[in-house]
Amino acid sequence: MKIKSGSVLLFLAAILSTGFHKTLAQQAIALYPGAIPNSIAADNQETNKDQIARNVSRPTLTVFLPEKPNATRTAVIVCPGGGYGVLVMDREGYQVARQLNALGIAAFVLKYRLPEDKIMKNKSVGPLQDAQQAIKTVRERAAEWKIDPQKIGIMGFSAGGHLAATAGTHFDSTFIDNPQKTSLRPDFMILVYPVISMGGSMGHKGSAANLLGNAPAEKLVQYFSNELQVNTRTPTAFLTHAGDDTVVPVSNSLGFYDALQKNNVPADLHIYSKGEHGYLKTPQFGEWFEQCRLWMITNDLLAR
């Protein structure tokens, strides 16, 4: 069949006018422009079935830019959960990014390396390196992505919440190359049923074993128990958790909130009596996300 060039141009124009351009704003980029720090050369064995990523050794950042940016030019880096053993990329990553876009917020889904001795020289700092690199990347490219470099937050679910909280409490320790001395401090944290502690009755044993090993030194456990690392410079936070969570006890969020309070760091804490781990049935996404939206408005991170 012969197609006239004018028809082709009309066809392309129709595609662009119906929203094809939106996909151009959702681009996965390599997290590091060069060599991946703290890595050991190994074959890429990553698998991704049903949007559950395993054996991640090549970190990426997927950029979701809103069609109509919010006037506050806020950005959120999203860290999916999975106990530092897998990454729930869709439900705790891409879907959340699209909801943030709907509010006019730029979102960046971080596919961080999963700690493994075979691919890392020091697996305990691998995910933190990736979180710091994500913050650095977004802040250094803020003008390009129409973002306020002082309104870059980090959001995490479950073990991704631990990573987000680690980035929010360990920003003075630099684990990546940072020649421009770019601030690695997130401006705010959104922590959803987060792992916070690595030890004691609060700690999530699976996440701790994957990140720190089966018999970590007590000093290492305390270093990555983020309720112990809060100070007056820790960024503001929104936390939500379920009281009946038997996987990651609600004491994780309670303990972190208490530490924030003691250091005069403003924070919101929303506890649901039912929800278990993952909020699979209740509360519905719109319920807790609306509370988060209102918190962002209160903190001038979102226009009314």
pLDDT tens readout for residues 33-43: 999 999 999 99
Amino acid at 110: L
Query: What is the tens place of the pLDDT at every residue in 226-261?
Result: 999 999 999 999 999 999 999 999 999 999 999 999
Q: Residue 241: inside a domain, yes or no?
A: yes
Region 277-284 average pLDDT? 97
pLDDT recorded at residue 98: 97
What's the total number of domains in the chain? 1
Kindly list the distances between the CA atom of residue 139 and the CA atoms of 37, 108, 149, 162, 171, in Å, as whole numbers in the listed order.
Answer: 19, 12, 5, 21, 14
Instruction: Say yes or no to pLDDT of 13 above 50.
Output: no
pLDDT recorded at residue 25: 58
Instruction: Say yes or no to pLDDT of 156 above 70.
Output: yes
Q: Residue 14: inside a domain, yes or no?
A: no
Q: Residue 12: inside a domain, yes or no?
A: no
Residue 129: CA count within 13 A, CB half-sphere: 24
Tokens of 25: 């704003």
Instruction: Say yes or no to pLDDT of 1 above 50.
Output: no
The residues, ordered by sequence, that sit 6+ positions from 259 with a Cβ below 8 Å of its Cβ are 227, 228, 230
Q: pLDDT-derived band of residue 304, with 50, 70 and 90 as boundaries?
A: confident
CB atoms within 10 A of CB 22: 14
Q: Residue 74: inside a domain, yes or no?
A: yes
Comparing 8 with 233, the larger pLDDT belongs to 233
Q: Residue 18: inside a domain, yes or no?
A: no
Q: Residue 262: inside a domain, yes or no?
A: yes
pLDDT recorded at residue 18: 35
Instruction: Say yes or no to pLDDT of 21 above 90.
Output: no
Q: Which range of residues forms the domain containing residue 149?
A: 26-298
Q: Kindly report the backbone phi and psi dihedral angles of residue 271, in degrees, each rounded to the nearest multiple of 5, phi listed first.
A: -110, 130
Instruction: Say yes or no to pLDDT of 15 above 80.
Output: no
What Rg value do the Cα atoms of the chain yield, rounded? 20
Q: Residue 214: inside a domain, yes or no?
A: yes
Q: pLDDT-derived band of residue 14, with 50, 70 and 90 as boundaries?
A: very low
Q: pLDDT-derived band of residue 17, with 50, 70 and 90 as boundaries?
A: very low
Average pLDDT, the chain: 92
Region 27-32 average pLDDT? 96
Region 130-146 average pLDDT? 98
Task: Please identify which residue in the block is written with the tokens 């995910």.
Answer: 127
pTM of the model: 0.91
Pairing of strands 52-54, 47-49: antiparallel
Euclidean distance between CA atoms 290 and 194, whole angstroms: 18
Kindly list the distances between the CA atom of residue 213 and the CA atoms of 54, 55, 84, 116, in Å, as whole numbers in the listed order.
Answer: 18, 16, 11, 9
- Contact indicator for 158, 206 with CB cutoff of 8 Å: no
Euclidean distance between CA atoms 211 and 195, whole angstroms: 12
Query: What is the tens place of the pLDDT at every residue in 64-105?
Result: 999 999 999 999 999 999 999 999 999 999 999 999 999 999
Task: Please identify which residue in the block is written with the tokens 């991946």.
Answer: 36
Q: Residue 9: inside a domain, yes or no?
A: no
- Contact indicator for 108, 164 with CB cutoff of 8 Å: no
CATH of the domain at 135: 3.40.50.1820
Instruction: Say yes or no to pLDDT of 24 above 50.
Output: no
